[in-house]
Structure formats: C-alpha cells, structure tokens
Structure 1
Amino acid sequence: MAGHPIHAMLVAFPVALAISTLGADGFYWWTGDLFWARAALWAGGMAFLLGVLAGISGTVELLLVSGIRARAASWTHFVIAVMLLSVLGANWGYRLTTGFEEAVLPWGLLLSAFAAAFTAITGWHGGKLVFDYQLGTSSTGKG
C-alpha cells in the first residue's frame, strides 16, 4: 500500500503471540497457575486471528507484486505460512473445544511447540526474502 510492505508490518504480532503461547503453556506446566492456561488461550487465539490478517496481506502482496511472485522462495514461504496458520488454528480450536485448562497438557503444549517451530521456519524464509532478495524494501512497489 503506497509502497509500504503491509505484510512485514503485520507479521510481528502473530509471531510474538505464537511464541508467547508456548511460553504460557510452559509456565502453566511449571506452576499449575490457571492464569497461564487462560493467557495461552488468548495468545493462541490472537496469534491465529492476527496471523490470518497478516496472511491475507501477504497473499495480496504475493499475487500483485511481480518481484515477489517471481521468486520460488516466496511460494515456499507462502506454503509454510499456510501450514503454520492451520497449526495455530488447530491449537486455538482445541483449547476452545476441550477447555483451556484441560487442553494444555500434553496436546496444547505440543501444538504450541509445533507452532513455534513452524513460526521459526516461516520467519526464516520470510527473512530470506527481505534480506537476501530485498523484497518489501523498495518504495517503488516493484518488490
């Protein structure tokens, strides 16, 4: 939008929240304090919802900006990001349907760890696009 990479601006929130979900699950496991189970539910839900928003903006940029669309690494990042969104959604949905406290151990914690790993892989690929290919750094709108 007006030469600004909206996806790059939005993606920080779901990344931080996905990692926070894992942290909250770990603290619940360690302390047994219900606060951390509730925090994991909220962080996981917001990671998914804001991830969908970042994903929509990333998809628009991928499809509309030829410099992004031309790179195979962009498509790899896209596919992994969609997989990450499915894991984030599964994690949040599991907590909503099971009950946020009962969902943490063991499956919530495992889903959060899986989401954190996918977040790292997806972020690495996104960083490669920015730092290696300079995509999203030009104000000309060409990539």
Structure 2
Amino acid sequence: MDKDIQSDDALVDPISAQPHFHRTESQIAIAGHPIHAMLVAFPIALTMCTLGADGFYWWTGDIFWARAALWASGMGFLFGLLAGLSGTVELLLVPGIRARAASWTHFVIAVMLLSILGANWGYRLGFGYEQAVLPWGIMLSAFAAGFTAITGWHGGKLVFDYHIGTSSTGKG
C-alpha cells in the first residue's frame, strides 16, 4: 500500500470546511417563510400561462388570448423581478448559499430567464399584442418555458439537496 494514501484519512471538501457553510437559513422571510420561495410560484405560473395563451390564440384566432398573453408575460416579468430581487439578497446575505457553486448557477440562469421574459413582454408591447404572437411571440414563450424548467430544476436542487432557504428547526 502506498504510504501517501492512508485509510484513516478522510477527504475534506475545502468549501464545506468553511465556518459558515452550513448556515443556509433564509434571511429574507416572513414568520420563517422565505419570500423568494413564496414569490417564484407567480413568474413560473405566468410564464406557462403566456405559452398557453399563445397556443390558444394560434388555435382559435380569438384576440382575447393574445391580450391574455400580453398581461401574463408582463406580470410574469414583474413578479420575476421581485422574486429575483429577493433571491439575490439571499444569495448575497447568507454565506452558506454564497459558498455553493450551484447557487451561482441558479442565479445566472434566472437572470437569463428574466431577460427572456422582459424581451417577450417588450416585443408584445412594441409590435402590438396580436401581431406579436405569431411566430416570434410564441417562440419566445416556448423559450421562456424551457428556461423556467431549467431554472426551477436548479432551484429545486438547492432546496431539496442542500436545504437552502429552509429552517432546520421549523421555527421562524
């Protein structure tokens, strides 16, 4: 057996050895409930509603669906900004979140998603909500839905695998 490798020595991750690595409780919360987790449901749902409304407009030609997509895309973007602001504050305030590379991956993908949501809404505002749906509006909506899935998957990994933004005691 090689003398450099000993069975008693355990490998230590230098990142997890940092003193505040395991401090991942939410700092932006109401009664122990993280605001970021409460807000992300809205842009997720509204992004999917935008894609659905675009699809219904394509299928039926009813202007109601084009107008609904305009409102859904706008509210999805605005609620996304609120969710992003609360998530960014969490990222910067909580050392255990900041120390994980997965947190930064989620952050970068979420910012990219926000730019897609903003472009989708801006396109509809600039070119008229009915004319904007086909073909570019529905393509932006599909792109946003895909990015929402990727961003949500990374956010879910942070919560379920690393317990980011959760309370270990269950108290606020």
* TM category, shorter: over 0.9
Aligned partners of 1:115, 1:130: CA distance in 2, in Å? Answer: 22
Letter in 2 for 1:41: L
The one of 48, 72, 94 aligned to 1:65 = 94
- Aligned-residue offset at 1:4: 3.1
Residue pair 1:4, 1:139 contacting (<8 A) in 2 also: no
Letter in 1 for 2:52: G
Report matched runs for 1:85-100 at 5 Å.
85-100=114-129
- Aligned-residue offset at 1:83: 0.1
- Aligned-residue offset at 1:139: 5.8
Instruction: Give the equivalent residue in structure 1 for 2:39.
Output: 10
Residue pair 1:20, 1:40 contacting (<8 A) in 2 also: yes
Residue 62 of structure 2 corresponds to residue 33 of structure 1: yes
Letter in 2 for 1:31: T
The one of 10, 18, 21 aligned to 2:50 = 21
The one of 142, 158, 168 aligned to 1:129 = 158
Instruction: Give the equivalent residue in structure 2 for 1:119.
Output: 148
Aligned partners of 2:142, 2:95: CA distance in 1, in Å? Answer: 35
TM-score (ref. length: structure 2): 0.79
- The count of residues paired between Structure 1 and Structure 2 equals 140
Greater displacement, 19-28 / 1-10: 1-10
Question: What residue ranges of structure 2 are gaps of 5+ in the alignment?
Answer: 1-27
Question: What's the RMSD between the two structures over aligned residues?
Answer: 1.1
Question: What residue ranges of structure 1 are gaps of 5+ in the alignment?
Answer: none
Aligned partners of 2:124, 2:136: CA distance in 1, in Å? Answer: 9
Could you report, residue by residue, the CA deviation over 1:77-99 in whole angstroms, capped at 9, with x for unpaired residues?
A: 00000000000000000000000
Instruction: Give the equivalent residue in structure 2 for 1:42.
Output: 71
Aligned partners of 1:18, 1:24: CA distance in 2, in Å? Answer: 10
